[in-house]
Amino acid sequence: MEMFSSFWPWYVTGPLIGLYVPILYLLLNRHFGVSSTFRDICAACLRIDKPYFRYNWKDHRWRLLFVAGIAIGGFLTHPTLNTPAQGQVSGHTLSVLSSLGIKDFSSLVPGDLFSWPSVLSLKGLLLTVGGGFLVGFGTRYAEGCTSGHSIHGIATFQRASVVATVCFFLGGVFSTYVILPIILHL
C-alpha cells in the first residue's frame, strides 16, 4: 500500500504514461485522448441535428468507459490512498504563491483556491467557470486536448501536436504569470 500512497518520481510515471500509447495501439488499434468523450456523450444523449454529432458513437464506447474509470477510480481510491502529506513543491513556487496572497499550503492543493468558500467567490468563479470555458474552447480550437496532443500526438510524430503542445505550455506560462495575479488581486 505504501507504494501506491506515496508520490512516484517523474522517471517512473513518465515512461508508464508513454507506454500507454503503443499498448493502446497494439491491443485495441485506438489513439489516446479524452476530450472526444464530450462529443460522444452529446451524440449519445442529445439528438442534435448537426453533422458533427451524427456518427455511430457506440464505436467509441471504450472512451466513455475509460473516462468513467478515471472518475470511479478516483472516488474508490480517495478513502484508502488519501495522504495528508504535502506534495513536493519548490520553494520558489511557494514564495510566488505566498506573494499572491495564497497562504494555506496544508494539503496537496492550496486551500485558499480549492475550498468551497474559495470556489464560490468571484475569484473562484472566474478561475473555474472562466478557466473551464477557455479550456473547452481551446480544446476544440486545437482539435484535441493536452493528453491527445501531448501524449499521443507527439508519440506518433504529428507536427500539429508539437505545435499544440508548445501553445499549451505558452498559454500555461502566460496564465500563471499574467492572468492569475490579476484575478487573485481582485
Give the pLDDT confidence of 48-58 residue by residue, as tens digits: 888 988 899 89
- Measured CA to CA, the distance from residue 149 to residue 162 in angstroms comes to 7
pLDDT attached to residue 86: 54
pLDDT attached to residue 30: 82
- Measured CA to CA, the distance from residue 134 to residue 186 in angstroms comes to 19
Asked if 90 contacts 58 with a C-beta cutoff of 8 angstroms, the reply is: no
What letter represents residue 130's amino acid? G
**Domain locations in the chain as residue ranges:** 1-82, 115-186
- Measured CA to CA, the distance from residue 66 to residue 12 in angstroms comes to 22
Whole-model pTM?
Answer: 0.74
Cα separations in angstroms, 79 against 5, 82, 83, 87, 116 = 11, 6, 9, 18, 20
Asked if 102 contacts 181 with a C-beta cutoff of 8 angstroms, the reply is: no
pLDDT digits (tens, 9 = 90+) for 127-177: 889 888 988 888 888 888 888 898 888 888 899 999 999 999 999 999 889
Residue 26 has pLDDT above 60, yes or no: yes
Confidence category of residue 84, pLDDT binned at 50, 70, 90: low
pLDDT attached to residue 89: 75
pLDDT digits (tens, 9 = 90+) for 117-140: 988 998 888 888 988 898 888 888
